[in-house]
Structures are given as structure tokens and as C-alpha cells.
Structure 1
Amino acid sequence: MRYESAVDFDAIEAIDVHVHYETDTCDHHSLPQEYMDASAAYFKGGERIPSIDTIADLYRKLNMAAVVFTVDARTQLGHLPNSIDDLVAGTQKHNDVLIPFGSVDPRTGQDAIDEAIRQVEELGVWGMKFHPSLQGFDPSDPQYRPLWKTISDLGVTALFHTGQNGIGAGMAGGGGIKLGYSNPLLLDDIAAEFPELRIIMAHPSVPWQDEANSIAIHKSNVFIDLSGWRPKYFPQSLVGYMSNMLSDKVLFATDYPLLAPERWLADFAELPIKDEVRPKIFKQNAMRALGLK
């Protein structure tokens, strides 16, 4: 199965660039159960593991497209990820609204590079998702440069978790997850060394929002997605820049199913952002971040 998009980007109203695929068709979950339970308690959302059909139905109803992914953290968690092939099959079934991103575990070395190539060239994924804290690695470490070069050469987007971690929150020792690996400054070296690589820094990067703002303003190839936080809780420095220096760099994103789009949209409508910037945030900036224009 290879993904071929049928999304009508002129017709849709928005692109949610951050949606989780939490269970595959074999009923395998993306995380060990204790992490799933802890994250459900932390986010206090609705259904924690919607099917790919449920995800598609939601975004079709909203007249939106959604970027869907899982995370390969097999080394750190000792838990195999959801099948990327299964994800691609599901997004191809719903290719009018869903866009697949792949994921590899950087700590597997050459295997990660080979698998990234397979996922892009054979499966047709449009990007790669990384979660440095969950995967337990420092993205600025030189040993991972061959992987970043490969992704850059493949011409797809790299999406990195940054900031606070809902996964592991409330567990003893945070479930062994180290927040420091999600400092956005660790991505600045990558953005500088691989200027053709489009990078999305996921989430308001609490407690490092000023760092994230600075990188996105300084590096033309870096974007910020607005997922994982209800907009009414966004850091003021981020909100303040959205209508000016970051107006072309921030992206609509929810973190569904951890945060429902309807709740995000209701909060976002109340933010003091210029009307002419809102269409950029909802769709135009994502088109550029995905390499569509």
C-alpha cells in the first residue's frame, strides 16, 4: 500500500498538523498501558484511542485535513510502535482528509535510516515524527546527523516534540522521560546545518517558549505547531508574536485525541490575533511547512 493524497487543499478550511494514531487494526497501542493511563488522566480528554475511521470521520465533518502519525520509541520503552504500514493503509483509505507521517527510532542507527527511506519512497509518507524525550535521545548529538541528512534529502518534513511532556506526567520519575531532550534549542543546530529540511517544533514549548520563538523567527525552515495546549493557556510571548513576527510560522494543530478540535477552536477564537493572520495559521502556513508551496 502506498499513500497518494486526494486532499482538495483549495476546498478544506484547515490542516491540523498534529494528530495521533494511538491504536492499529491489530489492537496494538502506541504506548505501554501505564503510559496510556497516565496521559489520559493528564489530558482529561474524550476517547483516548479512536480508530483511523473515527479520526477521518471527525475531520471530514470539520472540512479539514489532518496529519496523522505514531512514534517509534522501541529502544526507550521496550515497546514496538504501531505499524506504519497499517497507518498508511488507513490514511490511503481516507486520503481525502488524512495525511500520513512516518516515524523511526533514531537509536537504531542505520536501521532507522533504511526504514525512513522505505517509509518515504515505498509507503509515501509526507514527513517523519520524532519525540526526543519519549525516544530518549538528544537530537543535536552528531551521531544522528546522517538521519537528518537523509530526511532532508528525501524532501519531507520533520516534526519534533518540544517542551512539556504529557506522556509520563504524574508517574514516578515521569516514567523515566527526560524533559531536557525536548528543549527546542537542541533543534537549532539541525536547522542551521540542514537548511533545506523543513522542521516543525510541536507544541508551545513551555518552559522554553522564548527559545522556540527565537528559532522560528531566525530560521526560515522552522515552524511552530500549536498543539497540546488549549489556546487560552498559550504563553503570552507566543500569542504576542502570532500577529507579527510569527504570522507566517505558526500552524493550527490540536494533539487529537488528547485535545478535541472543537475545544481548541473555541479557545482560539477568543485570542487577540489579527483577522488576516488566522487563515495563515489554519492552512496557508501548513501548506508551506508540508512543502506544498
Structure 2
Amino acid sequence: MLLAALTALFMALGYTLGGSGGAVIALLVAAGMNLFTFWNADRIVLSMHNAREVDAASAPDFYALVQELAQRAGLPMPRVYVIDQDAPNAFATGRNPQNAAVAATTGLLSMLSREEVAGVMAHELGHVKNRDTLIMTMVATVAGAISMLANFGLFFRGGEREGHGNMAASLLAVFVAPFAAMIVQMAISRTREYGADRAGAEISGNPRALASALAKISGAAQAIPNPVVERNPATAQLYIVPTHVSELFSTHPATEKRIAALQDIAADMGAPAAPPTAMQRTSALSPAAPARRSRSALDPNGR
């Protein structure tokens, strides 16, 4: 329904401006730009974050965890990356499950327990399984076309000859359409987050662990500077939690609402009534890790 609304908005803008030729050009250019980004998104995003790929030798616990979750989800093993960054966050990228990659920051790995990291990575694999990268590329294509058409709207005035256009309607469309497209795009992104939360809960089998992880990292992600987002604000929509608080203009639902939804899912699944204890949360991925360890051994730097 949201994709249909976005498409209808594009058609209405084209009709109001009367530039059918300009509308087609805008759509083709936007589609070309977004298809290029879609095809190369994983390399672009990972390069922006200076992510380093890890394997069973360099990060055995983290890699094995992702491998186990991918098997549960029935997905091909994605490439696994670690980002040396204090801000706790994670994301998935790649044009399809066969070319997917998942990444987590060292800040996230050192902050969460094994169960919580499993919930976070299951969420990211949920994005892969739901093919959200494809959906968001389609959304970006139409939204990009709307913005382009609005920017050049005053130059495509063919509709005036046909009696469709007038200056007031054109100006209204030029200013309102991109804003409306942004709102619809955010609404679609929010629904994909809820979908990935549910998929992650099913993959990990522990929705309360994911809820606990969201509660832990949400505040820290907003408080700890993220240099990548500061340089490229558009990257904020990649992460599992937002990097700034603005419910109206955020690409993510409110964390409290996501946690409440996960609690409902847990009740439906008959999951354990509470997340792991404080002692369990400080334990490493390896069950033989010493109890005195205060940081998770998921941190590949061994901090």
C-alpha cells in the first residue's frame, strides 16, 4: 500500500506539472542512479565505515555465531565484518541473500552478552531474508524521481497547453511532493524494521534478548559520536537503532514501541520471562570464559 501511494504521488506530480516527458526522464535517471547504488551498495557502505572482514580464524566466536544464525534462517553464509567504532550499532547490506554482508561495531560487541548479540545479528539476517535492500531500492528510486521532477518542475510546463497546470498548483506540487515522499519513505522503512525484529526473534528464538539489546544500545548510539553519520547522514537508516532522537522524522520506530512489540512476540512464542541475568550478560561467547571478565569476548580486539 505504501509503495502504491508513493507511485501514485509520482504520477500525480507528473500530471500536475504536465511534463510527461520530464517525468519519464526523471524516473529513468533516478532508476539508473539507484540501480548503480543497489549493485554496489555493499562495497560503498562497508568502505565508508572502514569495515574489515573477519573469518573463523580472526574472530572465531562472532563468526560462528553468525554462521549458526544463518543456518537457522536457511540463508547462505553472509560475509562478516567488524567496524572499529565505539558507537554500538550493526547493519546488513548486499543486493540479495547470496551477496549479503553483516557488520557490527566493536562498541556493540563489547557492550552486549552473547544472547543479545545473537538477537541483533538475527535482526540483520532478518533484513537479508526479507530482501529489504531490494524494497528500499525500489522506494529510493521512486522517491528520487519525485525529488528530481519537483526540482525541475518549473521547466516542464507542457500541462499548461493542455489546461492541466497552473502556477499555484505547480508550486504547491514542487514543495509538497518531496516532503510527502519523504514521509512515505520513512513509513516504509519503519515497517521493515518491525518486520526484521519479528524475523530476528524467530531466527534467534529469543525475542527478549533482542529487546534487551535494543534497550542497551539505543541510548549509547545517540550519545556516542558516529563520524560516518556526521559525514553522511543518509547512512543512519542502515543501523538497527537510530543515531538521533526524532520520532516524526526518523527512519526507525521508537525503540520503546519495538521493545513492546518484541515482548508481545515473546509471549506468543512462550519465550523465557526475563533476559539473562547480569552475571550471564558479562559472560563471553565461550562458555568457559572466566566470570570476572567485564567485557564480551566478542570484541575481536580483546579489549
By the TM > 0.5 criterion, same fold? no
The TM-score normalised by the length of structure 2 is: 0.23
More helix by share: 2
Work out which of the two has the higher radius of gyration on C-alpha atoms and give 1 or 2: 2
The TM-score normalised by the length of structure 1 is: 0.24
